[in-house]
Amino acid sequence: MRGARLPAANGTRDSCLRFWRALPAVVLSVWTVGTAGAALPETSPVAAAAQPDNGANSSPVSDREARELAEEVKKELLHAWSGYEHDAWGHDELRPLSGKPRDWYGESLMMTPVDALDTLIVMGLKEQADKARTLIDQELSFDKDVYVKNFEITIRLLGGLLSSYELSGDKRLLELAQNLGERLLPVFSSPTGLPYVEVNLRTGKVRNASSNPAETGSLLLEFGKLSKLTGNPVYYDKAKRALVGTYQRRSAIGLVGDGIDVETGQWTGRESHISGGIDSYYEYLWKCWKLFGDKDCLDMWNHSIAAANRYLADDANGELWYGQADMDTGKRTSTYYGALDAFFPGLLAFSGDLERARRLHASSVQMWNLNGIEPEVLNYRTKHVEYPGYPLRPEIIESTYYLYHLTGDPRYRIIGRGLWRDFVKYCRSENGYAGLKSVITKEKRDGMESFLFAETFKYFYLLFSPPGALDFDHIVFNTEAHPLRRLNAPVRAASDQAGAAAPFVVRTADRKASISIDTSAAPELQEWAQTKLAGTLALWYPQITAMLPSDSFAAPTHVNITFKPQPGVAETEGTEVTGNSTWFKSQLEGEAVGAMIHEMVHVVQQYGDRDPEPFPGWLTEGIADYVRFFKFEPDYHGADDVWLKKQNPAKIRFDGGYRPTANFLDWVTRKYDPQIVVQLNILARQGTYREDVWQEKSGKTLLELGHEWQADKAGLQQP
């Protein structure tokens, strides 16, 4: 989680930490009550091994040890989850030292269950995931008269609901996400389009115009994904306007400040950095490009990262750090780096800048090793800890995971093992995990934020687990580590969540239509639908539309495809297509994709029942197979003369089946009129079809054409 900042240890905004903006009092209350931490219980399953690596143990992490470490992470998550279940079930968080629940706004929004759900799914903890999902489905409501922080609610709850929906296929989660998205939309009502900080979930009233780039520019992953899943562009458009609006207010040298008034668009803080309050702004520029393929985001990233690397990067005694600078002049203002900044090596690696990523990660590990765990703020020039707290942050683990995945360098698992040992040693409590008041004294705080489950445990687990635990190459993590599926890409979680498969939406290649594909009743078709069917339909739906034009006709802009057990192969009613999952499963390497092309032709045809004379059914189906077998897959030989030769041409009628009709139409287009199919399509849509059209186009009646076609094809008869 980025964007949030903690105050100085004495509760004041110390001048040397002026870039660390305080969280709202309701969020900070957990950090202002200190409780002495308990020693690591002897019963801990990893107590004996919880010794800091800190580079001393440089032995490679074998595949076997990695699996063992992944299991340790899973067991420790269950330890913390058990504490939450026992003492705070249904509440936002557990206070792990006092064993008391805590709700951010006086009423629970189920921060921990929602934030944790996709991690439980990824780890294959089906029992816990099902219980959490049932709680959310049945009891979570956003109809509450409370003001909430838009940024935190978006990254934790909206992101968590969307990710868990994509992993589980539970449509109730998408319904909740859409309901929440609607309640958050009023934040964008400022004159600039930049979002207000807070919104009342019931009334829609907004307040607090004093924001920062992280909160104004880190919403597009979640709101954009909501648009893609619901087909409603309003969420994407508003969040993108806010991101672009933030970018457009950058200085002449390309930097943004750390405070902005959303009503005036004026900067209220002119210090620039990569830390809390700006951090995820950079993150989302790159990730929105990766998730949505939005080139505007790529362009903004390229300009922004160049400025950050020029003015914020600081080579201090041969070590790479990123500090603070004046947004207008680029002059260095401070030399602070902290736990939140440690996400940046991962972002650099993800964007392809491995050299800077490695160097900055080495500095981040050095910061951790100074005290056996990282502080919130370090002066990297003096190595003095400016703020010693540690609220269980995940960022350095996140970067370690990114670098290991992207490079395969075994050193990152060695480093990760050391981080894990330290983390367990100093943060484990009797019924959970507790943040630290000080990384120097190791005194614990009575706080266990939900991002422990969403991020910290997840990144540790993924670092050590086999690659198949989550398909990194087909997802993008939001800033709360909720994996969101890239366009046309599968996500394979370890658990398969009771075999459920989430519906998904693919945009057509011309960006004019969307196709929703639902395999929730046939999860065995999910990977095929995502990897083979979706891309094909995205490319061919516009081509089919172009093949069957008519005046004043616009093809449907949204199509729903559902696979489920049913008779036959497939059927189409309007824009609703259903496929027999049993048949399609048997034809994944055969006719499955082609059969769905046939149905897409029906969607585009939109002939309906016309009076006085309906369009013949044999022609409706024949045109669909003509497009399929003679345009889409001619090499399949499903209706051409190669196929016909295997039949009995002398006994096949031109109107006696889909494929014979397709062959007949191809014959007519080649011998008499190449536009006959287009003309038939126009007449069918107009409801003006008459059989004499054949004579107009060829000089022969339909029956005469049929006899001639049959005579021509009779010579194909096999001896």
pLDDT 10s digits, 453-466? 999 999 999 999 97
Closest CA to 559 of 537, 575, 541, 579: 575
pLDDT digits (tens, 9 = 90+) for 117-170: 999 999 999 999 999 999 999 999 999 999 999 999 999 999 999 999 999 999
Q: Which of 262-271, 341-350, 479-488 has the lowest mean pLDDT?
A: 479-488
Tell me the mean pLDDT in the region 404-408: 91
Q: What DSSP letter does each residue of 380-399 carry, written as one string?
A: TTTTEEEE--B----HHHHH
pLDDT of residue 566 exceeding 60, the answer is yes
* pLDDT band at 600; cut points 50, 70, 90: very high
Average pLDDT of 399-420? 95
Please state, in angstroms and as integers, the Cα–Cα distance from residue 604 to each residue in 202, 295, 510, 627, 660, following that order.
Answer: 42, 30, 15, 12, 22
Which structure tokens are listed for 411?
């050193």
Would you list the DSSP string of 509-547?
TTSS-EEEEE-TT-GGGHHHIIIIIHHHHHHHHHHHHHH
pLDDT for the residue 68:
96
**In Å, what is the CA distance from 315 to each residue of 279, 347, 370?**
20, 19, 19
Q: Hunting for tokens 């829609």 — which residue is that? A: 204
* Band (29; pLDDT cuts 50, 70, 90): very low
Tell me whether the omega of the peptide bond preceding residue 612 falls within 30 degrees of 0, making it cis: yes
Q: Which of 42-56, 364-378, 461-475, 676-690 has the highest mean pLDDT?
A: 364-378
How far apart CA 465 and CA 522 sit, in angstroms, is: 28
Q: What pLDDT score does 489 carry?
A: 57
Q: What is the pLDDT of residues 425-462, one digit of tens each?
A: 999 999 999 999 999 999 999 999 999 999 999 999 99
pTM: 0.66
Under the banding of pLDDT at 50, 70 and 90, the label for residue 329 is very high
Q: With bands split at pLDDT 50, 70 and 90, how would you rate the model's confidence at 404?
A: very high
Structure-model confidence comparison of residues 693 and 210, the more confident one: 210
Mean pLDDT over 11-39 rounds to 31
For residues 100 and 87, is the Cβ–Cβ distance under 8 A? yes
Q: Does the pLDDT value for residue 56 go beyond 50?
A: no
Give per-residue pLDDT as tens, 637-659: 888 888 888 887 777 888 888 99
Predicted pLDDT of residue 716: 73
Q: Is the pLDDT of residue 717 over 70?
A: no
- Is-contact 222 162, C-beta < 8 A? yes
Q: Which residue has the higher pLDDT, 34 or 673?
A: 673
Flag the least confident range among 62-76, 192-206, 396-410, 673-687: 673-687
Q: Using 50, 70 and 90 to split pLDDT, how confident is the model at 49? A: very low
Q: Does residue 112 carry a pLDDT above 60?
A: yes
**Residue 12: pLDDT over 60:** no
**Position 55 pLDDT exceeds 80:** no
Q: Are 416 and 464 in contact (CB under 8 A)?
A: yes
Percent of the chain with pLDDT over 90: 71
Average pLDDT over residues 482-508: 64
Q: Is the pLDDT of residue 414 over 70?
A: yes
Taking a C-beta distance cutoff of 8 angstroms, is the pair 498, 130 a contact?
yes
Q: Across residues 243-257, what is the average pLDDT?
A: 98
pLDDT for res 47: 32
pLDDT of residue 543: 93
Q: Amino acid identity of 324?
A: Q
Q: Which residues are catalytic?
A: 152, 279, 376, 395
Q: Which residue has the higher pLDDT, 504 or 328?
A: 328
How sure is the predictor about 478, in pLDDT bands with cuts at 50, 70 and 90? very high
> Does the pLDDT of residue 609 top 70, yes or no?
no
Q: Which of 36-50, 174-188, 497-511, 690-704 has the lowest mean pLDDT?
A: 36-50
